[in-house]
């Protein structure tokens, strides 16, 4: 039986592999997935003091196209469409940069920007899926570490993960606006090594 399809391009391959990691991480909160290396180079930085987490940006972009919208932020403020990184993302994804309350996706380039979480859509009772998916860049994620204690769907009993270097304010921001099921935002935490932690709205988070 002959193959009738062309092989995947490097970007399609990245998008396909990334999706499987994201799906697995969201289905199993607390399981730390390893994202593949993105086929992007020379990505603009969100801020002079904050280098870009290319894996997180590429993972978010793997889900963007002209039918969806996004916002991104660094140091607790939303970046405008004129920012070089906004342009870089828009040109490659065709996604629209909108106001936070309308965003399908949010890319938070540093942990502190989690403070902006309450501005993002949480869905409605009729359409709880019309909620934001957030990609949050964090310094490091440690499987089995002792920062967060997670329970809920996808977790057999309890699981713990470590977020070294996380400030208590950041952790408080992470735990805000939860327990509203079926409403809520869904989060992916991605560290500098490309390790990924999924936190769907169903996960109950407490501190260890």
Partner 1 sequence: MTELTDQLYHFALLDEDAQREIRRKLLKAVAIPGHLVPFASRDMPIARGWGTGGLQITLSLITPEDTLKVIDQGDDESVNAVNLRRLITRTTGVATTTDTTAATIIQTRHRIPEEPMRADQILVLQVPMADPLRWVEPNIERATIMHSEADYGKMWVYMYESIVRAGDLRIASQYPVIVNRRYMMDTTPIPRWDVPKLHMAETLYLFGAGREKRIYAVPPYTAVEPLQFEDYPFRTEYRPGQRCARCGAENTFLTSHFVADAHGGRWETTCSDVSYCTKRCAATETTA
Q: Which residues bind partner 1 (CB under 8 A)?
A: 1-8, 12-13, 15-17, 19-20, 22-24, 26-28, 62-68, 104, 124-126, 128-129, 131, 133, 153-156, 181-182, 184, 186, 200-202
Shortest Cβ 52–partner 1 spacing (Å): 22
Shortest Cβ 65–partner 1 spacing (Å): 5
- Residue among 18 and 55 whose Cβ is closer to partner 1: 18
Scored b (16 or more CB within 10 A) or e, 51-72 reads ebbbbbbbbbbbbbeeebbbbb
Shortest Cβ 7–partner 1 spacing (Å): 7
Whether the Cβ atoms of residue 136 and residue 108 lie closer than 8 Å to each other:
yes
- Residue among 68 and 90 whose Cβ is closer to partner 1: 68
Shortest Cβ 72–partner 1 spacing (Å): 17
Q: Is 121 exposed, middle or buried (0-12, 13-18, 19+ CB in 10 A)?
A: middle
Q: Position of tokens 């894996």?
A: 55
- Residue among 145 and 182 whose Cβ is closer to partner 1: 182
- Residue among 12 and 75 whose Cβ is closer to partner 1: 12
Q: Is 47 exposed, middle or buried (0-12, 13-18, 19+ CB in 10 A)?
A: middle
Q: Is 194 left (phi over 0), alpha (psi -120 to 50) or beta?
A: left
DSSP state of 121: -
Q: Which residues, at least 6 apart from 2, have a Cβ–Cβ distance to it below 8 Å?
A: none
Shortest Cβ 158–partner 1 spacing (Å): 11
Find how far residue 80's CA is from the centre of its chain. 19
- Residue among 3 and 91 whose Cβ is closer to partner 1: 3
């Amino acid at each position: 039986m002959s193959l009738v399809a062309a092989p995947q391009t490097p970007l399609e391959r990245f998008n396909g592999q990334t999706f499987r990691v994201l799906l697995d991480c969201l289905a199993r909160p607390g399981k730390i997935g390893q994202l593949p290396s993105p086929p992007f180079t020379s990505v603009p930085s969100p801020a002079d003091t904050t280098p870009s987490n290319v894996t997180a940006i590429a993972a978010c972009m793997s889900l963007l196209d002209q039918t969806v919208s996004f916002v991104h932020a660094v140091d607790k403020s939303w970046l405008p469409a004129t920012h070089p990184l906004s342009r870089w993302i828009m040109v490659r994804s065709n996604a629209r940069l909108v106001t936070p309350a309308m965003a399908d996706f949010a890319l938070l380039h540093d942990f502190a920007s989690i403070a902006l979480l309450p501005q993002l859509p949480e869905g409605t009772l009729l359409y709880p899926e019309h909620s934001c998916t957030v990609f949050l860049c964090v310094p490091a994620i440690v499987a089995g570490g002792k920062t967060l204690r997670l329970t809920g769907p996808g977790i057999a009993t309890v699981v713990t993960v470590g977020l070294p270097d996380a400030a208590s304010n950041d952790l408080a921001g992470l735990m805000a606006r939860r327990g509203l099921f079926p409403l809520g935002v869904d989060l992916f935490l991605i560290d500098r090594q490309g390790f990924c932690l999924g936190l769907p709205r169903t996960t109950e988070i407490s501190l260890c």
